[in-house]
Amino acid sequence: MNTIDYIYRFDPKNPSAKPLPHDAEVARRVLEDGNRMFSKWMESCRTGTPSQGEPRYIVSCNGLEVGMPRTHGEMPTQSPFAVVVGCSDARVPTEMLFGQGFNDLFVIRVAGNVMGDVCQGSVDFALTDLSHSVRVVVVLGHSGCGAVTGAVDAYLRPLKFWSKSLSPMLRSLTQRIFVAVREAANGLKEVWGPGAREVPGYREALIESAVCINAAQAAFGLRQEVERNGQWEVEVLYGVHNIRNHQVCMPVDPTAPRSDENVQLVLAPSNPKEFQALAVQMAEILRPSSVPRHGHKHSIADGQAEDALHATELDDATS
């Protein structure tokens, strides 16, 4: 029977065949190459192209590192080469989409890949207790994120934010994403013009852009933490998993077909001004062909007026 196989393989004759990346650059390439393999497999599944003979999509694993019998009852040593802060979304299987196996990644998953205290504490644990193996920290967003979508809808319709159906905990998570949503909205307004909200597809574009900026902002915060601790050998990266073509990219074109050149993890921003540049870049990518590039520079006065409008809407919702 011809099948389309994605195999996790353990070789008992050579159980340690997968070496630890010796630096951050090698670690980044390992993750990107793993995603290229995964996206090729997904494309193969989509087109119904079966594997012929030896399967083409193989992840090497060391079963000894997850508790297979060892001499003298030894415990396996935890030695991931990457810390990945991703979303809890069930469509984003972190190890699988990076082509990694046992003991390769230290994964922290939370809705919207939002950096709360517990999430930050988990990263700190990995950087402190697993510093012998960790080479990179990665923030991974994904297209169509439900948490970001909720934040966008609350931004566009403030009454939804104060709905009784939204628990205080969920409201707190949504609030953490509002800054990314606002930055994305500013970028769309600058590129699409002051009437951007009325353009068909605005909400979907705002979600796509906010997903990227949300990941960038989380990566920026983590980069500050890593540098504050003097861990200069560790690089902080970020990207977004495009669920449509199964590739981790930055920036993200939601309509792009699968291509090895698309896969890219980029360095975390070093300056908050980079968020605005990313917002404009995403607005250009997402701009409908019917909308000319406006070139409007979003002014502080515009932002203050819009803030006042939203404040009034929120006050009305609570009165």
Report pLDDT for 88: 96
**pLDDT value at position 19?**
83
89 among annotated binding-site residues:
yes
Q: Which residue has the higher pLDDT, 316 or 102?
A: 102
User: Is residue 87 part of an annotated ligand binding site?
Assistant: yes
Does the pLDDT at position 216 exceed 60? yes
Going from the C-alpha of 281 to that of each of 26, 45, 53, 222, the distances in angstroms are 28, 32, 44, 23
Q: Where in the chain are the domains? A: 6-318
Entry pTM: 0.86
**Is the pLDDT at 299 greater than 60, yes or no?**
no
Residues 241-269 pLDDT 10s: 999 999 999 999 999 999 999 999 999 99
Q: Which residues contact 220 (CB under 8 A, 6 or more apart)?
A: 268, 269, 270, 272, 274, 275
Of the candidate ranges 40-44, 133-137, 204-208, 278-282, the one whose mean pLDDT is the lowest: 40-44
> Is pLDDT larger for residue 76 or for residue 276?
276
Inter-residue contact 108 to 122 (CB < 8 Å): yes
Closest CA to 155 of 315, 314, 316: 314
Predicted confidence at residue 187, as pLDDT, reads 97
CA distance 126 to 88: 19
Is there a contact between 293 and 284 (Cβ–Cβ < 8 Å)?
A: yes
Radius of gyration for the alpha carbons in the chain, expressed in angstroms and rounded: 21
- Kindly state the average pLDDT of the residues 304-310: 45
Q: Which residue has the higher pLDDT, 55 or 134?
A: 134
C-alpha torsion 112→118→122→123, nearest 10: 60
Say what the pLDDT of residue 244 is.
94
Q: Tell me: the pLDDT tens digits for 139-182? A: 999 999 999 999 999 999 988 777 777 788 888 898 999 999 99
CATH assignment of 6-318, among 3.40.50.720, 3.40.1050.10, 3.40.109.10, 3.90.170.10: 3.40.1050.10
Does pLDDT of 270 surpass 90? yes
